[in-house]
Structure 1
Amino acid sequence: MTGPDLPERVRAALGDRRTREVKMFGGISFMVDERMVAAARGDGDLLLRIDPARREDLLARPGAHEALMGEGRSMGPGWLAVDEAALTGAGLTEWLGHALDFREPGLKPPASRRRPGVSAPGGAPSPARAPTPPQPVRRLRTEPCRWAWVT
């Protein structure tokens, strides 16, 4: 198994869920129902969004280590990285299961981040605020210039 193979394996493991892929975290991140679940990094590691309450238990498993941003900066208790070697066989499905469990299936997808008054995907204005009326057009001066450069 190689690093570039990991995104295809994650796609297959997520199956028919509503997913979206975004390039970030040094690889391809997988969003399920608009929530970040995992990222297949270019180095072959899998970055997971996990329940912070289960962090210590999951860190004790083989192949799991603290997720870092750059040199030595922790990404926080809700993030975990898994070595490529621990993702063989059913390992990938098991680790993705921990990330999918954290999504809290009863919650609705997050609200749109659109600004109030901006059209929604269906074309209707956002209900938060009515669209602002058009502003008057500023006209440029059209009269001739009264001075000229003298050389």
Structure 2
Amino acid sequence: MGAAIDPQVLAARVRNALPAKFASEKRMFGGITFMVNGNMLCCVSKRGLMACVGAAAEPEALARPFASPCFGSGRRMAGFVTVAPPGVADADGLNYWLALARTYVEATPRNASGQKRWRRKSAATEPSRAAA
């Protein structure tokens, strides 16, 4: 595992690199997630940067130094890469990843804030299997 990074410092660098009106922020994935038009751009945490680059750009992204596939709950997250702290240590590295993520996210349709893409049925709303 790579060296840890102060997520507040990295988040400040991301804020400075993006136009003020460009992104909103949410606490997600154990870090600070930057959203554009309701879609995730990137997330900063002590592990580095998780960037949403899209499935088409993922092979190019994974060929870069310090980049690796992103896993969530033990499953690979298609279209996302994790960049270890050395990969975003300087402005050029951070700007590369933000530009790659922006290219994908800006071409993605707006996701209404709070919109659910799927809903898990609760036990209270599912019909009883015993009754069948």
Specify the TM-score bucket, using the shorter chain as the normaliser. Answer: 0.7 to 0.9
Aligned to 1:94: 96
Aligned to 2:119: none
Secondary structure, counterpart of 1:76 in structure 2: strand
User: RMSD between aligned alpha carbons?
Assistant: 2.1
Structure with more contact order per residue of length (Cα contacts < 8 Å, sep ≥ 6)? 2
Normalising to structure 1: TM-score of the pair? Answer: 0.65
Secondary structure, counterpart of 1:67 in structure 2: strand
Structure 2 unmatched runs, 5+: 116-132
Aligned to 1:76: 77
What percentage of aligned pairs have identical amino acids? 31
- Counterparts of 1:1-151 in structure 2, within 5 Å, are 2-4=5-7, 5-41=9-45, 43-70=46-73, 73-87=74-88, 88-105=90-107, 109-111=110-112
Contact 2:5 2:48 in 1 (8 A): no
Secondary structure, counterpart of 1:78 in structure 2: strand
Moved beyond 6 Å, runs of 4+: none
Contact 1:6 1:44 in 2 (8 A): no
Q: Which structure: larger Rg? A: 1
| Count of residue pairs brought into register by the alignment | 110
Q: Following TM superposition, by how much is the alpha carbon of 1:77 offset from its aligned partner in structure 2, in angstroms?
A: 1.7
Q: Following TM superposition, by how much is the alpha carbon of 1:36 offset from its aligned partner in structure 2, in angstroms?
A: 0.7
Normalising to structure 2: TM-score of the pair? Answer: 0.73
Q: Identify the structure with the greater strand proportion.
A: 2
